[in-house]
Amino acid sequence: MFSFNYLSLAAAALLVPSVSHAEDLVFSFENQTSYAIVELYASPSTTAEWEEDILGRDILEAGEAARVTIADGRRACEYDLRVVFEDGDVIEDTTDLCETESYTITE
C-alpha cells in the first residue's frame, strides 16, 4: 500500500500511438473526502469502456492531491472519470479536461 502527498501519474501505458500530436491533458486531482481513493479511471466520453486504472498500485489518501497527466494522443477534451473509494463506493462524472486545471472530489 503506497501513499504520496503529491503523485505524478500518466495514463498512456497501453494506448495505441497516434500520428497527430495532441497535447497532454494535465490537471490536479484532489481528494477532499474522508476516504482513500483506490482506483481512478479517465476515458474519453466517446469510449464505451474504461481505460487502465491511473493509480495502479498507489492510493490517494483523504486530503491528498495528485498531478495527473493523460498522454493518450487523442484530441478529446470531454472525459468520463470513475473514482473507486476504499469502502467500495464509486463516483462517476464527466468533465472537460481541456478547460480544467484541477478536479476535486468532495463529500
Q: Which residues pair with 63 in a beta bridge?
A: none
| Cα–Cα dist 96/103, whole Å | 10
Mean pLDDT: which of 7-11, 14-18, 67-71 is highest?
67-71
> Domain residues of the chain, as ranges?
2-106
Distance between CA atoms of residues 60 and 36, nearest Å: 6
Specify the pLDDT at position 105.
95
CATH of domain 2-106: 2.60.40
Q: What is the mean pLDDT of residues 39-65?
A: 95
What is the pLDDT averaged over residues 38-63?
95
Q: Which tens digits make up the pLDDT trace of 71-88?
A: 888 889 999 999 999 999
80-99 average pLDDT score: 96
- Name the more confident of 59 and 1: 59
